[in-house]
Chain A
Amino acid sequence: MSRTGFMEHPREPRHKRPVVARVGDYREVYISHPLTTLRTQAARCMDCAVPFCHQGCPLGNLIPEWNELVHDGEWEQAITRLHLTNNFPEFTGTLCPAPCEPACVLAINSDAVTIKDIELSIIDRAFEEGWVRAQPPGSRTGKRVAVVGSGPAGLAAAQQLNRAGHRVTVYEKADRAGGLLRYGIPDFKMEKHRLERRLALLEAEGIVFECNYEIGRTISAEELRRSFDAVMLCVGAERGRDVHTPGRSLPGVHLAMDYLVQQNRRVTGEAVPAAGAISAAGRRVVIIGGGDTAADCLGNAHREGCASVEVLSVYPEPPQTRPAGNPWPEWPLVLQTYPAHEEGGRRQYGVMVTGFQGSERVETIETVECEVHRAGSRRDFTPRPGSEGLMPADLVLLAIGFDGVASASLVESLGARLTDSGAIAVDADFCAAPGVFASGDATRGASLIVWAIAEGRQAAAACDRYLAALPKS
């Protein structure tokens, strides 16, 4: 089949709701394309003999294959093909930064195929048509697996293990399942009904969710080990990176994740106790950090009606186009602009925070411009003398990364150990200790949801091999 769509149609990504409209609510920013547009966009795929998108995707999504099916209008075939490699396309379709797209062959000298849009449209259509149904296993193996943590890695591992016929129980320390998908991701990126719909399917497949269960508190590690043939740890990398600059303990200086969790509860309609409540409403907000978490805080702050937002990054401003030494098909180290950035706020680069000032709560932050020096994998920051400054701030959110697994004792109580970077140490088969597996952010550090799903799947396969080798119970 001759593929010339890329020569005939320009790239047309999904449209976004206008800024004024979308900052007034928490609904998703993007609007779905009509099916005809999607088919045209899918026609831009060249069906490369060496599909770099498929390599660029941590899940190995069969992108050219479902692009073709969408172009042909074979949506049901498309979801089957998509589900082969991806348990939750609605999560990646909304949340993934889509490393497949910069790896698209068209991106060498033109604009990539809108792969992520097409992915989301396939799963949306499939849900609408009722093609996504629970798939309980045909028979049960009699083996039992505990999955600890219900974020994307845990859910993917649970679904794979359950479909293999094992009895799966998912333990979640929070009151509701979903992990970061529920408490980290704002609704304007992915509305919660997508999560609820998927959780209901997983339950219908036979997976048992036990919320408000904390290993070591609600149930002991020994009991867990005794009750299950294997344990899969998908506990994330929840330890937020903090600073130790003077004034850090002032009220009004918070870890970003604490703010995001509260915001998610509020948006869902849950009560947040007044004591310890973090709100941006009417405040001059300073977000420290330049990544995804910072952007999530930014979007929330505007929706809460903040007075102003400054986003400070210690790194220099990334270039607009690929720098030398960062060629296609690598992930481009360029300035990323998310919808949240379009909604307001100012981004400043090469700025380091040296202190927080204030009497009752934070009022001002001390800053200095700085330069970054790379020393191997380490980076050193040198302040530029004379560039010191002050910036008013009523709310400071620290979105500067994560330092690994929150609870070392949980990991150790199961016979596993943490690496120097705070991740659970595993072998090539995701095995942390005999019968104990781990995957997702817990093993690779805070990363993309697509990696969490990919690792959850791989670890589940390894766990399944382990279970298959156990004597029949």
Chain B
Amino acid sequence: MSLATSLGAGGNLLEQGPAQAKRLEVPTPILSNADLETIRHVTQRQFPAVTISTTFHSDGGVRALEEGLERICRLASEKIREGYTVLVLSDRHVDANHAPIPALLATAAVHHHLVREHTRSGVGMVIETGEAREVMHIALLVGFGAETVNPYLALETVAELLRRGLLPAGTDLARAKERYIHALYKGVRKVISKMGISTIDSYSGAQIFEAVGLAPELINRYFPGTSSRLGGIGLDVVAEETLMRHRMAFPERSVDPVSLAGGGDYQWRRDGEAHAWNPTTISLLQHAVRGGGPQSYEAFAAEVNDESRTLKTLRGLFDIKGDREPVPLDEVEPATEIVHRFCTGAMSFGAISKEMHETLAIAMNRLGAKSNTGEGGEDPERYVVDANGDNRRSAIKQVASGRFGVTANYLVNADELQIKIAQGAKPGEGGQLPGNKVDEVIARLRYSTPGVGLISPPPHHDIYSIEDLAQLIHDLKMANPEARISVKLVSEVGVGTVAAGVAKARAEHIVIAGYDGGTGASPLSSVKHAGVPWELGLSETQQVLVAQGLRSRVVLQVDGQLKTGRDVLVGAMLGADEFGFSTAPLIASGCVMMRVCHLNTCPVGIATHDPELRKRFAGTPEHVIAFMLFLAEDVRERMAGLGFRRFEELIGRSDLLQPRTDIEHWKARLLDLSALLHRTDAAPEETHHTLSQEHHLEDVLDQRLIELATPALERGDPVRLKLRVRNVDRTVGGMLSGAVARRYGEHGLPDDTIRIDLHGSAGGSFGAWLAPGITLSLRGEANDYVGKGLSGGRLIVSSPPNVSRAAEDNVVIGNVALYGATSGELFVNGVAGERFGVRNSGAVAIVEGVGDHACEYMTGGRVVILGRCGRNLAAGMSGGVAYVVDMDGRLHEHFNLAMVGLEELDGEDAQFLHDVITRHREYTGSLLASRMLQDWKASLGGFVKVMPNELRRVLSLKARLDVPA
């Protein structure tokens, strides 16, 4: 990734010459004051720079702001004509009579003005502003056209903090400012990486934002091309808000001693930003489930619903208007049925403590509802029902990008398998478990190393297209045909189109997650600025799915800070069949929103693994059950009032929602909710879930394998099979592995109990989830995703006999082998494609050559590469070991050494290599293996051992600790 950018005239993109190269390179989009002065004065001769003041007369109101914008655009054009190649837009000259034009508005206005004039590439834009102080501010300014930003006031604030002694003793000013700029730099890098962009030049002017609450006129004039679906404020309100701040800075008289308000953005403050979870709502809910009863719940719901009326949420802007006569409450479907539509959110054991995780599972199982593993595996001991009848098994098993703990046994112990594409709290990012929370148990369940932090990669490495998603859905369905397959998406513009693709890929369940869910461990830039409210995403998804005739095939679920029966009802009317709750059940269990989930110091034992703190956990399944039943009763009472007996009659009835007419708030009343409430005409059965997806599992090869393997499955007798495989046979061995896991659990069958010799060309996901005791030996070739989620079985792929090329030159398996493998073995007599061993966390593999990115994000297991390697080897590898033959002495050029180091082999390594290569020769007849074994000493000398730095750190720490004992 690179955040380096350049200033000056860009010239014609299609020409190549010295003029194009005459650019001032700037290593970061954040400029210090000295950097800016350098641009202003030192490089002036080569890169003439001019400053345009972006202020307007504070007593001129919106007219002055509008004229100010016109003036800076006009000046920009003039200066370019005069030959300037750097424009500095500056709000430095603010005083009692001059307010700043909001920096983003000024930037976008000038940028688009120059784009329209076809002069934008002739100039670099530098924004000198007192407004920018957070990562998001920089990202917005760059995203709307700036090349670089000088946040002078923030830098002055750093100096002031130092002057007041609020920075650690010994900090010097230059260093403090440098650190602040570096923090912004890293934040911006994270933001652009989340969007899948790797250079700042691609991000600059890309405008990948969605505006919520800006009027179309404002968007069209100053931010053209930006999505904005709800209308909202115009330039007049922007002017007024700017002037309100200006009046605060230059008051007519001062009442309080001059001191800035706390704000309360990230931490609740009484006079600060309103938070939905505040002392009142938290304590009311906790009282309600601890004996306070329905009255306390009603007080809680009233407070929340009233809050939603006080304009914290979009749903607070609606009124629910019935079109039927009320019905008696006892004619409405019972709460015990309504709760089946409820689940708890995906919070991993890892993020939350064992006690909290199991409390949720027990509560939801007692209700016949569902809890969710989150991305962290699950201890198999929880698959056994407790003596008292409690079931600690999570009904929903999540399959996320890290694939932590995803084994055949995990998959069969599920009623729903959820593919997490993204999560509402931090779209574009995966789970992040800091090393201090990875203890022995968590590491065991995630097949990783204690003490080593775990970061789920942003993408699923087996999903690059909707066809790939369809393949993963098929893989999961094969492992567990009884489980419904869910795909979790995030509310954002365009999610409806994605959902339509997901429905066509035969997902049975789609989650639309809102932006306001989330853990205290989410990065602040995500907490505040990523995603949009669920109302927008759900409404769009419902509209698209109904219009495409796909809605009835899927269950639609919504989540994101749902708290009350009213929330559920609004969700249903906007299209949801089911509802997810995360924060509320945690609050019911004792969470007090400390927002220290990442520090392992949760004082109520919820988001911690500290044994002492876990003792403080005081939540019970009854607390969670009470909340769910209160909710369901709340829903029922509202249904009765509206005249609805069955819940499904409500789904998609957005016509029952009406924008409130009593909104007096000066900004909220400008919103236009019609797009949100639009209802696509369709028959009632077309607007909610009524049909099941067709998976065509009856004729898959695995049905035959299971039939033929009956002696092994029923009695453990060895079975030998010989079959032909074709490229339409996908996920071979997946369903058989599910059958083994279902009967024999995590440890499966004894080695080689079921041995299947195949020949031919295998389809995608060959040997996925392969369970212990199964050996699949293929002579021929296999497509992508060989050994996906390998769970203890053995996979052998040998080059076909009649190939003219040597095996070590012949590609026999596709890309992304062993993704998320947890144990088992893979022998490949030939070359693999790209990303071999990505996210391997326990399998042993040997291969005679690999493409790019081998061993990426590996956390465990061992990979032996006997032949040629592509680039970027071992990127992001934090565990496991790789042994690679250095063919030409230039292997180091292939490594990504950011996280690994190269080591000498020791005796244990040599023994392991000899053993595995011997077996490779035996299983596959590899000629390369034979040759190497013939001159073993020389062969051994050719190996390089790749060791992750993190693993080495933890091992040496452990060794030191073990010495005295």
Q: Contacts of B595 on A, CB cut-off 8 Å?
A: 49
Q: Contacts of B256 on A, CB cut-off 8 Å?
A: 84, 163
Q: Given A84-B259, A105-B603, check contact A52 B592 (CB 8 Å).
A: yes
B267 to nearest A CB, angstroms? 5
Which A42-84 residues have C-beta < 8 A from chain B? 46-52, 54-56, 60, 62, 64-65, 72, 74, 77, 80, 83-84
Q: Which of B165, B255, B612 contacts A7 (CB 8 A)?
A: B612
Q: Contacts of A52 on B, CB cut-off 8 Å?
A: 279, 283, 592
Complex Cα distance, B259 from A135, in Å, reads 14
B601 near A: Cβ within 8 Å? yes
Q: Contacts of A46 on B, CB cut-off 8 Å?
A: 594, 596, 601, 603
A139 near B: Cβ within 8 Å? yes
A122 to nearest B CB, angstroms? 16
B238 to nearest A CB, angstroms? 27
Which A86-127 residues have C-beta < 8 A from chain B? 103, 105-106, 108-110
A332 to nearest B CB, angstroms? 13
Q: Which of A56, A62, A135, A324 contacts B269 (CB 8 A)?
A: A62
Q: Given A50-B278, A165-B253, check contact A74 B268 (CB 8 Å).
A: no
B45 to nearest A CB, angstroms? 47
Q: Contacts of A138 on B, CB cut-off 8 Å?
A: 254
Complex Cα distance, B595 from A105, in Å, reads 13
By beta carbon, the residue of chain A nearest B282 is A50
Complex Cα distance, B259 from A77, in Å, reads 11
Beta-carbon contact of B279 and A50 below 8 Å:
yes
Beta-carbon contact of A54 and B270 below 8 Å:
yes
B654 to nearest A CB, angstroms? 34
B257 near A: Cβ within 8 Å? yes
Q: Given A138-B254, A327-B290, check contact A50 B267 (CB 8 Å).
A: yes
Complex Cα distance, B595 from A219, in Å, reads 57
A111 to nearest B CB, angstroms? 12
Q: Which of A3, A7, A49, A139 contacts B266 (CB 8 A)?
A: A49
A473 near B: Cβ within 8 Å? no
By beta carbon, the residue of chain A nearest B283 is A329
B683 near A: Cβ within 8 Å? no
Beta-carbon contact of B603 and A164 below 8 Å:
no
Which of B165, B267, B277, B590 neighbours the largest number of chain A CB atoms within 10 Å of its CB? Answer: B267
Complex Cα distance, B269 from A60, in Å, reads 8
Q: Given A50-B278, A62-B262, check contact A109 B604 (CB 8 Å).
A: yes
Complex Cα distance, B601 from A80, in Å, reads 30
B481 near A: Cβ within 8 Å? no
By beta carbon, the residue of chain A nearest B270 is A60
Beta-carbon contact of A49 and B279 below 8 Å:
no
By beta carbon, the residue of chain A nearest B605 is A109
Complex Cα distance, B601 from A2, in Å, reads 8
Q: Contacts of A48 on B, CB cut-off 8 Å?
A: 267, 592-594
Complex Cα distance, B256 from A164, in Å, reads 7
**Interface bits B636-667 vs A (CB < 8 Å: 1, else 0):** 00000000000000000000000000000000
A2 to nearest B CB, angstroms? 5
Complex Cα distance, B252 from A141, in Å, reads 11
A4 near B: Cβ within 8 Å? yes
Beta-carbon contact of B601 and A105 below 8 Å:
no
**Interface bits B583-607 vs A (CB < 8 Å: 1, else 0):** 0000000101111100101011000
Beta-carbon contact of A141 and B253 below 8 Å:
yes
Q: Contacts of A139 on B, CB cut-off 8 Å?
A: 253
B191 to nearest A CB, angstroms? 23
Q: Which of B257, B267, B280 contacts A135 (CB 8 A)?
A: B257
* A contact patch SS: loop
B291 near A: Cβ within 8 Å? yes
Complex Cα distance, B268 from A62, in Å, reads 11
B933 near A: Cβ within 8 Å? no
By beta carbon, the residue of chain B nearest A57 is B270
A6 near B: Cβ within 8 Å? yes
Q: Contacts of A325 on B, CB cut-off 8 Å?
A: 291-292
Beta-carbon contact of A7 and B268 below 8 Å:
no
Q: Contacts of A7 on B, CB cut-off 8 Å?
A: 601, 610, 612-613
B41 near A: Cβ within 8 Å? no
Beta-carbon contact of B269 and A164 below 8 Å:
no
A229 near B: Cβ within 8 Å? no
Beta-carbon contact of B255 and A80 below 8 Å:
no
Complex Cα distance, B271 from A133, in Å, reads 27
By beta carbon, the residue of chain A nearest B165 is A74
A172 near B: Cβ within 8 Å? no
Q: Given A74-B165, A108-B590, A138-B254, check contact A50 B277 (CB 8 Å).
A: yes
Complex Cα distance, B253 from A163, in Å, reads 10
Which B245-279 residues have C-beta < 8 A from chain A? 253-257, 259, 262, 266-271, 275, 277-279
By beta carbon, the residue of chain B nearest A4 is B601
A131 to nearest B CB, angstroms? 13
Q: Contacts of B277 on A, CB cut-off 8 Å?
A: 50
Q: Contacts of B286 on A, CB cut-off 8 Å?
A: 327
B164 near A: Cβ within 8 Å? yes
Which A123-166 residues have C-beta < 8 A from chain B? 135, 138-139, 141, 160, 163-165
Complex Cα distance, B267 from A7, in Å, reads 22
B297 to nearest A CB, angstroms? 14
Beta-carbon contact of B603 and A49 below 8 Å:
no
B882 to nearest A CB, angstroms? 34
Beta-carbon contact of B612 and A77 below 8 Å:
no
Beta-carbon contact of A55 and B270 below 8 Å:
yes
Beta-carbon contact of B255 and A49 below 8 Å:
no
Beta-carbon contact of A3 and B601 below 8 Å:
yes
Complex Cα distance, B792 from A427, in Å, reads 74
A464 near B: Cβ within 8 Å? yes
Beta-carbon contact of A51 and B268 below 8 Å:
yes
Complex Cα distance, B596 from A326, in Å, reads 27
Q: Contacts of A49 on B, CB cut-off 8 Å?
A: 266-268, 520, 593-596
Beta-carbon contact of A324 and B599 below 8 Å:
no
Complex Cα distance, B154 from A41, in Å, reads 32
Q: Contacts of B593 on A, CB cut-off 8 Å?
A: 48-50
A322 to nearest B CB, angstroms? 11
Q: Contacts of A327 on B, CB cut-off 8 Å?
A: 283, 286-287, 290
Q: Given A2-B601, A329-B283, check contact A74 B166 (CB 8 Å).
A: yes
By beta carbon, the residue of chain A nearest B275 is A50
Q: Contacts of A109 on B, CB cut-off 8 Å?
A: 603-604, 616, 618
By beta carbon, the residue of chain B nearest A48 is B594
Which B601-625 residues have C-beta < 8 A from chain A? 601, 603-604, 610, 612-613, 616, 618
Q: Contacts of A4 on B, CB cut-off 8 Å?
A: 601
Q: Given A51-B268, A54-B270, check contact A464 B603 (CB 8 Å).
A: no
Q: Which of B257, B279, B292, B616 contacts A329 (CB 8 A)?
A: B279
Beta-carbon contact of B257 and A324 below 8 Å:
no
A89 to nearest B CB, angstroms? 15
Q: Contacts of B590 on A, CB cut-off 8 Å?
A: 108
Complex Cα distance, B613 from A309, in Å, reads 45
Q: Contacts of B278 on A, CB cut-off 8 Å?
A: 50, 55
Complex Cα distance, B590 from A74, in Å, reads 33
B275 to nearest A CB, angstroms? 7
Q: Given A46-B603, A52-B279, check contact A164 B253 (CB 8 Å).
A: yes
Nearest 5 pairs of A and B residues by beta carbon: A49-B595, A55-B279, A60-B270, A50-B593, A109-B616
Chain A residues in contact with chain B, CB under 8 A?
A: 2-4, 6-7, 46-52, 54-56, 60, 62, 64-65, 72, 74, 77, 80, 83-84, 103, 105-106, 108-110, 135, 138-139, 141, 160, 163-165, 324-325, 327-330, 461, 464
Given A106-B603, A164-B253, 12 new contacts (CB under 8 A): A46-B596, A50-B275, A54-B270, A60-B270, A74-B166, A77-B164, A80-B259, A84-B256, A84-B259, A109-B618, A160-B255, A163-B257
Chain B residues in contact with chain A, CB under 8 A?
A: 164-166, 253-257, 259, 262, 266-271, 275, 277-280, 282-283, 286-287, 290-292, 520, 590, 592-596, 599, 601, 603-604, 610, 612-613, 616, 618
- Some 12 contacts from A to B, beta carbons below 8 A apart, are A7-B610, A48-B594, A51-B267, A55-B278, A55-B280, A62-B262, A77-B165, A84-B256, A109-B603, A109-B604, A327-B290, A461-B255
